[in-house]
Chain A
Amino acid sequence: MKIRLDNVIKTFDTFRAVHGVSLEVESGELIALLGPSGSGKTTILRMVAGLEYADGGHIYFGDQDATDIPVRDRGVGFVFQHYALFPHMTVAENIGFGMSVSKVKREKAAIAERVNQLLKLVRLEGLGDRFPAQISGGQRQRVALARALAVDPKVLLLDEPFGALDANVRHDLRRWLREIHQELGITTIFVTHDQEEALDLADRVVILKEGQIVQQGTPQEVCREPKDAFVLKFLGDANRLAGEVSGGIARAGGAEIAAGGASDGPAEIYARPRDLDWSAEGPGVSATVSRVLDRPGERRVIATAVTGEPLELDVDPEREIAAGDTGFVTFRRAKVFAL
Chain B
Amino acid sequence: MAHTASRKPPRVGDSPIFRRSLIGVVLILGALLIVAPLLVIGHEAFKQGWKVYIDTLSHPDTRHAIMLTVITALIAVPVNTAFGVAAAWAITKFDFRGKRLLLVVIEIPFSVSPIVAGVAYLFVYGLQGLFGPWLDDHDIKILFALPGIILASMFVTAPFVARELIPLMQAQGRDLEEAATSLGASGWRTFFSVTIPNVKWALLYGVVLCNARVMGEFGAVSVVSGNIRGQTNTLPLHIELLYHDYQAAGAFASASILALLAVFTIIAKVALERRGAGRRKTLSDAAAPTGP
Contact = CB atoms under 8 A, between A and B. Distances in A.
A12 B6 contact: yes
Contact of B3 (A13, A56, A70, A71): A56
Contacts of A50: 9
Contacts of A55: 3, 5-7
B10 interface: yes
The winner among B1, B6, B9 for most chain A CB atoms within 10 A is: B9
Interface residues of A, number: 16
Contacts of B7: 53, 55
Contacts of A10: 6
B9 A70 contact: yes
A54 interface: yes
A70 B9 CA distance: 7
Interface in A194-231: none
Interface in A88-128: none
Contact of B10 (A13, A52, A70): A70
Interface in A1-54: 10-13, 50-54
Nearest to B9: A53
A70 B10 CA distance: 8
Interface string B1-34: 1010111111000000000000000000000000
Interface residues of B, number: 8
Contacts of B6: 10-13, 55
A11 B9 contact: no
A67 interface: yes
Nearest to B4: A55
A216 B6 CA distance: 27
B9 A51 contact: yes
Nearest to A71: B9
A52 B3 contact: no
A11 B5 contact: yes
A56 B10 CA distance: 18
Contacts of B5: 11, 55
B219 to A, nearest CB: 39
Interface in A49-72: 50-56, 58, 67-68, 70-71
The winner among B3, B5, B8 for most chain A CB atoms within 10 A is: B3
Interface in B156-210: none
Contacts of A58: 1
A54 B3 contact: yes
Contacts of B1: 58, 67-68
A68 B10 CA distance: 12
Given A11-B5, A52-B8, A54-B3, 15 more contacts: A11-B6, A12-B6, A50-B9, A52-B9, A53-B8, A53-B9, A55-B3, A55-B5, A55-B6, A56-B3, A58-B1, A68-B1, A70-B9, A70-B10, A71-B9
21 contacts: A10-B6, A11-B5, A11-B6, A12-B6, A50-B9, A51-B9, A52-B8, A52-B9, A53-B3, A53-B7, A53-B8, A53-B9, A54-B3, A55-B3, A55-B5, A55-B6, A55-B7, A58-B1, A68-B1, A70-B9, A71-B9
